[in-house]
């Protein structure tokens, strides 16, 4: 079992997301992360799904995804050179004083930006792969993470190759 | 200007629909009003489940798309088992449901249920139509999706206001264009060549053919391939009728209740040529031992079926008929595999299916008599359980689409409504529903439909006063503890009479043939209540999880 990143190009229609996720839940798979948004083709959206499963289970699920009428194309990015990014917003307890300064140092190391400041808390915005985000969240925990939101990973192939309709 | 209801009915007719099975209710009133003076035939069933099964039976017998119609909420929910049954067996069907008006969607309005959500995993695709102007396009797409590629049911949910709203006549597109749906019909040339080479090199080949052959109307091509290359054929439950039951190369059904010789042949073959099948667990038994020493070629129109349960050496994605036709054109005649065929003939002689002959009324005997009488000229539908397996084993099917059964889902109560549907596809031949006393009571209300519509379906009930198949498992694997499987005797003839249907009870073997003949000769529906041996078992049998050559109830080897 290993993590797979699937890129799924779909018609941007009501119900598509539940058709897609239904195929995973029916097989008892937990989706680790999911991100959806419109893409370069009018009327279509791209879904990036991260899921942990055997290679043959993934092959079966990709075939099943391909059978959905509203799915245009499915690609497994896992074994390809790719860029993966996720954005997270972290609200940390930060009273005036030494901890606030420390948090701002940690933010600099992670190239996170401070996007909101209030007397008792800070909001950090960080972009990276999921490991980097996990690491930052772990570090910040000692100060008190009040809320942690992440977008889910999105992925794209390096070079000129694309996940586009047709072959 | 036309109302949605009118557009719907016209669209159905444009798709060639001649009959729909349905049941009315509040939100489909506008559609029913349109049907009132339409030339489209409508059959009023007594339960929506029967409407779905009837549309499915019609589709299986005719090869066309079946259509059913129900109201929202309870009506739509009653279709669910029928839709799931069609989905599991890849049957082309369009299910139409009414829905609460768009303004009330999601409000828990009276008789609202999210039927597109409910049927998502049991339809090939489904639609919730929100604009009347979309209706004609959606109907066209639905028929196209249902009937092409790997067929399956498509549901269209139509809110009441979509039916009542009038719009300007919208032109219907000539062709359906769906960016995400392009089934592959033609097999890859190189793969076909490789397959032919593998077949030519094989010493002990077997064809394992299934419902895909029937769906693709490829019986003739299958038989040509088999006879030209001298390859024995075994079929799945769904594939019965694809090749004549009495053809010398036919080994009958394989799997859990398959013939011993079919299962032996699979176990000993060196090449398995799988055609329109899906390696279901009821067929393979323990998968590791299924055709363990064979190379495998697999043709299927659905790429997701290839390699799903068993590793395949040569996958060929494509329509069975198209691929077999291509094979026939590049095929060189190969040796007749004499030694192998001789070995199989020996098995056939020494391991025939058993039919007890002790003066008592055995269900197998009833099926054999029916088979003799009809001689291939009829459509046989079954319920689920022992009745289904005995029919599959002992009836000699001679033509495709003359055997109609719920294979994948195993839906008790399927038979009678499916037989009603089959009659409208094949009014020229007798249609029999071979039933169990348990199954028939799951949709027995359809006696009302066949009586009212004078549908001449013949119902042959193998009445063992048990949920026989479950009782058999209890006998064999649960120490004869018959937990809730005994059914008190029911006088089915009396029930038939209450509906104005003729019927007779049969209690001894010599009454069987005259009774069947009486049913065939009767111009209307007919009920036969066969009081068969109560604790008869279906043999041979592969216990769950065993290898398919490890059968019980067969002949000593
Ligand atoms: C709707 C449904 N419920 C339960 C079952 C489980 N089941 C399979 S066979 C069977 C017994 C069928 O009894 P009957 O119709 O009398 O047929 P017999 O086996 O006695 O020929 C049952 C309960 C089923 N297949 N379908
Ligand atoms: Mg019974």
pLDDT tens, residue by residue, B430-462 = 999 999 999 999 999 999 999 999 999 999 999
DSSP string spanning B493-557?
HHHHHHTT-EEEEE-SGGGHHHHHHHHHH-SS-EEEEEE--TT----SB--TTSBTT--BSS---
Closest-approach residue (CA) in chain B for A165: B179
Phi/psi at B476 (nearest 5 deg)? -85, -35
Residue A98: pLDDT over 90? no
CA separation for the pair A105, A102 (Å, rounded): 5
Domain limits, CATH 3.30.70.260, in chain A = 2-80
Q: Both tokens of residue B209?
A: 């053919």
Containing H/E element for A44?
Answer: strand A44-53
CA separation for the pair A132, A26 (Å, rounded): 31
CA A133 and chain centroid, separation: 11
- A2-80 adopts what CATH topology? Alpha-Beta Plaits (3.30.70)
Residues of A in contact with B304 (CB under 8 A): 60, 63-64, 66-67
Q: Is B439 in the pocket of ligand 1 (CB under 6 A)?
A: yes
Q: How do residues B3-19 score in pLDDT, each as one tens digit? A: 999 999 999 999 999 99
CA separation for the pair B354, B193 (Å, rounded): 41
Q: Both tokens of residue B541?
A: 């049998």
- From the alpha carbon of B409, which atom of ligand 1 is closest? 25
3-state secondary structure of B54: helix
Residue A167: pLDDT over 60? no
Ligand number nearest to the C-alpha of B484: 1
CA separation for the pair A7, A20 (Å, rounded): 12
Q: Both tokens of residue B69?
A: 């119609």
Annotated active-site residue in B2, B124, B160, B295 = B160
Instruction: Indicate the pLDDT class of residue A44, thresholds 50, 70 and 90.
Output: very high
Query: Quick one: average pLDDT of A75-86?
Result: 94
Is residue B12 domain-resident? yes
pLDDT at A10: 97
**How much is the pTM?**
0.97
pLDDT at A97: 79
Cβ pair B158, B12 in contact under 8 A: no
Q: For residue B275, what are the domain limits? A: 189-350
- From the alpha carbon of B442, which atom of ligand 1 is closest? 1
Domain limits, CATH 3.30.70.1150, in chain A = 83-154
Q: Both tokens of residue B151?
A: 């067929």
Residue B256: pLDDT over 70? yes
pLDDT at B428: 98
Cβ pair B383, B413 in contact under 8 A: yes
Question: Do both B343 and B383 map to the same domain?
Answer: no
Q: What is the maximal distance between C-alpha atoms in chain B?
A: 74
Question: Do both B286 and B309 map to the same domain?
Answer: yes
Look at strands A82-93 and A154-157 and give their pairing.
Answer: antiparallel
pLDDT at B333: 72
Q: How do residues B56-108 score in pLDDT, each as one tens digit? A: 999 999 999 999 999 999 999 999 999 999 999 999 999 999 999 999 999 99
Instruction: Indicate the pLDDT class of residue B174, thresholds 50, 70 and 90.
Output: confident
Cβ pair B391, B382 in contact under 8 A: yes
DSSP, res B102? G
CB burial of residue A119 (10 Å; 0-12, 13-18, 19+): exposed
Query: Quick one: average pLDDT of A10-36?
Result: 94
From the list A15, A22, A165, the residue facing B179 with the nearest CB is A165
Instruction: Indicate the pLDDT class of residue B335, thresholds 50, 70 and 90.
Output: low
pLDDT at B36: 98
pLDDT at A95: 85
CA separation for the pair B28, B428 (Å, rounded): 33
Is residue B181 domain-resident? no
Cβ pair B184, B299 in contact under 8 A: no
Residue indicated by tokens 């040529």: B273
Q: Which residues 262-321 on chain B approach chain A with CB closer than 8 angstroms?
A: 302-304, 307-308
Query: Quick one: average pLDDT of B201-228?
Result: 97
DSSP, res B276? S
- The proportion of chain A whose per-residue pLDDT surpasses 90, expressed as a percent, equals 87
Instruction: Indicate the pLDDT class of residue B173, thresholds 50, 70 and 90.
Output: confident
Number of Cβ pairs < 8 A linking chain A and chain B = 37
DSSP string spanning B293-350?
T-EEEEEES-GGGTTSSS--SEEEES-HHHHHHHHHHHPPP----HHHHHHHHHHHHH
CB burial of residue B212 (10 Å; 0-12, 13-18, 19+): buried
Annotated active-site residue in B13, B110, B203, B494 = B110
ipTM, 2 dp? 0.92
Is residue B183 domain-resident? no
Q: Both tokens of residue B457?
A: 């379906």
pLDDT at B331: 86
Q: How do residues B469-492 score in pLDDT, each as one tens digit? A: 999 999 999 999 999 999 999 999
Query: Quick one: average pLDDT of B236-243?
Result: 98
Residue B393: pLDDT over 80? yes
pLDDT at A94: 92
Ligand number nearest to the C-alpha of B390: 1
Phi/psi at A21 (nearest 5 deg)? -70, -30
Question: What residues have CB less than 8 Å from B323, skipping those under 6 apart?
Answer: B186, B187, B192, B299, B316
Q: Is B383 in the pocket of ligand 1 (CB under 6 A)?
A: yes
Query: Helices marked H in B63-134 — which ranges?
Result: 74-88, 115-119
Domain A83-154 has CATH 3.50.50.60: no
Cβ pair B334, B199 in contact under 8 A: yes
Is residue B552 domain-resident? no
Q: How far, CA to CA in Å, does A80 sit from each of A70, B377, B465?
A: 25, 59, 62
CATH number at residue B394: 3.40.50.970
Phi/psi at B206 (nearest 5 deg)? -140, 140
Exposure string over B306-331, b if 16+ CB within 10 A, otherwise e: bbbbbebebbbbbbbbbbbbbbeeeb
3-state secondary structure of A42: coil
CA separation for the pair B480, B56 (Å, rounded): 37
Query: Helices marked H in B123-239 — which ranges?
Result: 135-147, 160-164, 189-201, 211-215, 219-229
Residues of A in contact with B180 (CB under 8 A): 10-11, 68-72
Query: How many domains in chain B?
Result: 3
CA angle, B115 as apex, B113 and B120 as ends, to 5°?
A: 145
Is residue B556 domain-resident? no
Q: Both tokens of residue B435?
A: 């039933």
Q: How far, CA to CA in Å, does A65 sit from each of A55, A81, B88, B179?
A: 15, 23, 17, 14
Q: Is B461 in the pocket of ligand 1 (CB under 6 A)?
A: no
Phi/psi at B473 (nearest 5 deg)? -65, -35
CA separation for the pair B162, B488 (Å, rounded): 49
Q: Is B462 in the pocket of ligand 1 (CB under 6 A)?
A: yes
CA B51 and chain centroid, separation: 15
Q: Both tokens of residue A73?
A: 């194309």
Q: Whose CA is nearest to atom 18 of ligand 1?
A: B468
Cβ pair B294, B288 in contact under 8 A: no
CATH number at residue B319: 3.40.50.1220
CA B483 and chain centroid, separation: 30
Q: Both tokens of residue B427?
A: 């009014």
Q: How do residues A14-24 score in pLDDT, each as one tens digit? A: 999 999 999 99
Question: Do both B117 and B198 map to the same domain?
Answer: no
CA separation for the pair B275, B206 (Å, rounded): 11
From the CA of A2, how many Å to the nearest CA of chain B?
A: 20
Look at strands B250-253 and B403-404 and give their pairing.
Answer: unpaired
């Amino acid at each position: 079992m290993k993590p797979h990143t699937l890129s799924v190009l779909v018609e941007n229609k009501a119900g598509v997301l539940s058709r897609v996720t239904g195929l995973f839940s029916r097989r008892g798979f937990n989706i680790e992360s999911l991100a959806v948004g419109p893409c370069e083709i009018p009327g279509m959206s791209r879904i990036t799904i991260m899921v942990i499963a055997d290679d043959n289970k993934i092959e079966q699920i990709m075939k099943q995804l391909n059978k959905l009428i509203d799915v245009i194309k499915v690609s497994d990015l896992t074994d390809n050179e790719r860029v993966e990014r996720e954005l997270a917003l972290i609200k940390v307890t930060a009273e005036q004083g030494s901890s606030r300064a420390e948090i701002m140092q940690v933010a600099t190391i992670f190239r996170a930006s401070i996007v909101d400041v209030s007397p008792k808390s800070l909001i950090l915005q960080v972009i990276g792969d999921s490991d980097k985000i996990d690491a930052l969240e772990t570090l910040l925990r000692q100060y008190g993470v009040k809320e942690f939101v992440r977008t889910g990973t999105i992925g794209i192939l390096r070079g000129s190759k694309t996940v586009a309709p047709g072959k | 200007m036309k109302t949605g209801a009118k557009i719907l009915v016209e669209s159905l007719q444009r798709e060639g629909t001649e009959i729909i099975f349905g049941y009315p209710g509040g939100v489909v009133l506008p559609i029913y009003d349109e049907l009132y003076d339409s030339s489209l035939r409508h059959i009023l069933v007594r339960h929506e489940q029967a409407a779905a099964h009837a549309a499915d039976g019609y589709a299986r017998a005719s090869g066309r798309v079946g259509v059913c119609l129900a109201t929202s909420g309870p009506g739509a929910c009653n279709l669910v088992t029928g839709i799931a049954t069609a989905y599991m067996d890849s049957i082309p069907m369009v299910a139409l449901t009414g829905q609460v008006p768009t303004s009330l969607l999601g409000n828990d309005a009276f008789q609202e249920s999210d039927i597109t959500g409910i049927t998502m995993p049991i339809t090939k695709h489904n639609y919730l139509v929100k604009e009347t102007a979309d209706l004609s396009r959606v109907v066209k797409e639905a028929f196209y999706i249902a009937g092409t590629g790997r067929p399956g049911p498509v549901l269209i949910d139509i809110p009441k206001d979509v039916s009542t709203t009038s719009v300007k006549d919208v032109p219907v597109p000539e062709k359906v264009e769906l960016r995400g749906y392009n089934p592959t019909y033609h097999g890859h040339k190189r793969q076909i060549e490789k397959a032919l080479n593998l077949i030519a090199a094989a010493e002990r080949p077997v064809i394992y053919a299934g419902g895909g052959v029937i769906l693709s109307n490829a019986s003739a091509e299958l038989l040509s391939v088999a006879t030209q290359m001298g390859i024995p054929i075994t079929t799945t439950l769904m594939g019965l009728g694809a090749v004549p039951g009495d053809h010398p190369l036919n080994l009958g059904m394989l799997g859990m209740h398959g013939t011993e010789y079919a299962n032996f042949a699979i176990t000993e073959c060196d090449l398995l040529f799988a055609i329109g099948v899906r390696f279901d667990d009821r067929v393979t038994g323990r998968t590791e031992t299924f055709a363990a020493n064979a190379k495998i070629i697999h043709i299927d129109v659905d790429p997701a079926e290839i390699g799903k349960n068993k590793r395949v050496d040569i996958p060929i994605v494509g329509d069975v008929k198209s691929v077999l036709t291509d094979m026939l054109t590049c095929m060189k005649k190969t040796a007749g595999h004499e030694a192998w065929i001789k070995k199989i003939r020996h098995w056939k002689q020494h391991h025939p299916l058993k039919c007890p002959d002790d003066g008592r009324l055995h269900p197998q005997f009833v099926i054999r008599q029916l088979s003799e009488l009809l001689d291939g000229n009829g459509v046989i539908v079954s319920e689920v359980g022992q009745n289904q397996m005995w029919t599959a084993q002992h009836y000699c099917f001679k033509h495709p689409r003359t055997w109609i059964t719920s294979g994948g889902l195993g839906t008790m109560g399927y038979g009678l409504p499916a037989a009603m549907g089959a009659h409208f596809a094949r009014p020229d031949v007798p249609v029999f529903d071979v039933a169990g006393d348990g199954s028939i009571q799951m949709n027995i209300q359809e006696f009302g439909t066949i009586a009212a519509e004078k549908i001449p379906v013949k119902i042959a009930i193998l009445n063992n006063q048990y949920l026989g198949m479950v009782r058999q498992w209890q006998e064999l694997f649960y120490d004869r503890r018959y937990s809730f499987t005994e059914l008190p005797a029911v006088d089915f003839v009396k029930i038939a009479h209450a509906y104005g249907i003729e019927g007779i009870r049969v209690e001894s073997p010599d009454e069987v043939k005259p009774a069947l003949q009486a049913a065939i000769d009767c111009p209307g529906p007919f009920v036969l209540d066969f009081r068969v041996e109560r604790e008869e078992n279906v043999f041979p049998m592969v216990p769950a999880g065993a290898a398919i050559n490890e059968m019980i109830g067969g002949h000593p080897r």
